[in-house]
Amino acid sequence: MKIFGVVGFKNAGKTGLMERLVTEITKRGVSVSTIKHAHHNFDVDQPGKDSYRHRVAGAQQVLLASGARWALMTELRDEKEPPLEQLLAQLADVDLVLIEGYKRDRHPKIEAFRAAPQNPLIAKDDPTIMAVATDTPLQIDLPQIDLDDTVTIADFILDQVGLCRSTAS
């Protein structure tokens, strides 16, 4: 299973890029899963729903299943957040896992960068960033790809991880 990350500060375009990359890469016949890091608490179930009630009641894990999908939620309670490697081990085998966030981990990444939020460029101090997807020219010795050029970004990532990069018909 190959992994590649998308990092950047808030409002840099990470989530939109991830969504476009999943669409583009899966069109090419490459199986993709994603991991998204959140810096805050979140719920995937809703108050009042059975799965929510089970979790709030104290269940360590809640598996919700239907004919269309299943989801396994694990409540950490007082445990530390698991490392990325442990989370990757929970995924079914696919060709590529795209990781949004986890900018401090040591896997290869592309940085999403927009000029407007005026955030610093992470790539200047991070050797795991292989390129920058940007909306403005930058003074940096890394490949720069237009943030909206999903096909070229997908080609770059697939080249980096050694997967077929042929474009879909």
CATH number of the CATH domain containing 143: 3.40.50.300
Q: What pLDDT does 45 receive?
A: 80
Q: What pLDDT does 164 receive?
A: 77
- Domain coverage including residue 121: 2-40+79-161
Give the span between the Cα atoms of 87 and 37, in whole angstroms: 11
**Contact predicate 7/122, CB 8 Å:** yes
In a domain, 52, yes or no: no
Q: What pLDDT does 137 receive?
A: 96
Low-confidence ranges of the chain (pLDDT < 70): 40, 165-169
pTM of the model: 0.90
Task: Output the six-digit token pair for 150.
Answer: 């999903």
Number of domains the chain is built from: 1
In a domain, 70, yes or no: no
Give the span between the Cα atoms of 27 and 3, in whole angstroms: 18
Closest CA to 35 of 59, 18, 55, 11: 18
Residue with tokens 């939109």: 16
What are the tens digits of pLDDT across the range 35-54? 999 876 777 788 888 888 89
In a domain, 34, yes or no: yes
Q: What pLDDT does 168 receive?
A: 54
Give the span between the Cα atoms of 89 and 152, in whole angstroms: 29
